[in-house]
Amino acid sequence: MSPDSEQPNPLIAGYHSSVAYAYPENHARAIIKTVAYHRKDFDLEVIWFPAHTPSDAASSLAADHQKPTASLGELDKLPLELIINICWQLDIESLFRFRQVNARGQQIVNTLHEYRVIIKYALNVFLALLRTRKTPSVTLEEFYSLLCTQECSVCGKYGNLVYLPTWVRCCSSCLHSNSPATNTTSLGSVKRLLSLSQDALQNFPRFKTLPGIYGTTESSYKHRIICVPTQHVIAAYEKGYNEKPILSCFSPPHQKYALDFKACCVLPVYNPQNRQVEYGVSCAGCEVFLQDVVSRLHQKWAFVARDMVYSHSEYLEHFAWCEQAQLLWEESAHGMREPEGLPMSCKRGGFFERCSSC
């Protein structure tokens, strides 16, 4: 098969192949498994919970612990279909509380397909919503809908993250490039530096950061602060004063940048048609290119290419033109062995300052 992927423009000699790489369709999965890899470092620079937490929490959040002996009182007089519709519209915290009422509440919530999918594949985000006390809150319907959405709301490519304050998908590339859509500011700075009305302050979407290790520098943060999306602050200021606020005075750039990471969490993409989930992959060939071919030139675009996160179908389109990835694939004897030239960083799942065993 020669994928119908469009020829890149411009075609860069030494990086792109001169023609689209042809391969049998049944090699697609093996190509992804052999020459693409998941960037664990990108997972660990945003909100995450220690490895032992998700499975424990998932089993307790999805299991029926006992047979219901008590009813839900007046609520149980409603048809089950109506109760399920109500659950669908509940925000995650209320749904969590409803499930804790008794075994009957637990049974009803556990039968919701969307709830089970969320607990299975997006537990980190579920826990983050409960712990960051994000407002406005997110309903089960909104959560499931975003889980089934693939595109980054900023660039339109595969979005591997959710930006919690405004509940939109974004991607690591947009987060790293300091996109305005993921800019985050502490509410304390806004109150201190801008004279905004109480109404404006109260209307900002907000959340409370979680202690942890964040950002590309893997810095540790202990204090929790209330944050708001910078775009909303700018809009409110412009409405009140007819000019833009001076944003650089909010907080030191490195601290402000870290807030953007504290506002994001990894959100895989669930496909309801085939019930498959994707976590996003990056290209080992692009890392080889960066190390061996342009290492001394430090071309910024090559770093951007190396740090791209693709859906599986986007990756196959990229592979069709990525010469180094094609060479790795050929070294692997059609995926039968690990290619000799596979960089260590790809085997480890990215670049780590300190917690390589995470």
Question: What is the contact surface with Zn ion in residues (CB under 5 A)?
Answer: 152, 154-155, 171, 174, 283, 285-286, 322, 325
In angstroms, what is the minimal distance from the CB of 258 to Zn ion? Answer: 19
Contact between 175 and 216 under an 8 Å Cβ cutoff? The reply is no
In angstroms, what is the minimal distance from the CB of 213 to Zn ion? Answer: 23
Question: Under the phi-then-psi rule, with left for phi > 0, alpha for psi from -120 to 50, and beta for the rest, what region is 333?
Answer: left
| Amino acid letter, 40 | K
Nearer to Zn ion, 200 or 263 (CB): 263
Name the token pair of 308: 């791209």
In angstroms, what is the minimal distance from the CB of 161 to Zn ion? Answer: 9
Name the pairing type of β-strands 207-208 and 168-170.
unpaired
Cα separation, 325 vs 320, in Å, equals 9
Neighbours of 152 (CB within 10 A): 24
| Amino acid letter, 126 | F
- E strand spans, 91-211: 161-163, 168-170, 184-186, 207-208
Cα separation, 49 vs 124, in Å, equals 7
C-alpha 32, offset from chain centre: 20
Contact between 182 and 163 under an 8 Å Cβ cutoff? The reply is yes
Neighbours of 12 (CB within 10 A): 15
In angstroms, what is the minimal distance from the CB of 177 to Zn ion? Answer: 8
CA distances from 153 to 66, 161, 300, 342 (A): 42, 10, 24, 32
Nearer to Zn ion, 144 or 163 (CB): 163
Give the DSSP H or E segment for 203: helix 198-203
Residues sharing a CB contact under 8 Å with residue 296, sequence separation 6 or more, in sequence order: none
Name the token pair of 264: 């994001």
In angstroms, what is the minimal distance from the CB of 7 to Zn ion? Answer: 15
Nearer to Zn ion, 132 or 324 (CB): 324
In angstroms, what is the minimal distance from the CB of 171 to Zn ion? Answer: 3
In angstroms, what is the minimal distance from the CB of 150 to Zn ion? Answer: 11
In angstroms, what is the minimal distance from the CB of 306 to Zn ion? Answer: 8
C-alpha 282, offset from chain centre: 14
Cα separation, 232 vs 202, in Å, equals 12
Nearer to Zn ion, 30 or 57 (CB): 30
In angstroms, what is the minimal distance from the CB of 240 to Zn ion? Answer: 30
Cα separation, 216 vs 263, in Å, equals 14
Of 170, 158, 155, the residue nearest 36 (C-alpha) = 158
Nearer to Zn ion, 9 or 248 (CB): 9
Nearer to Zn ion, 134 or 169 (CB): 169
Nearer to Zn ion, 159 or 245 (CB): 159
Nearer to Zn ion, 54 or 343 (CB): 343
Nearer to Zn ion, 92 or 305 (CB): 305
In angstroms, what is the minimal distance from the CB of 21 to Zn ion? Answer: 11
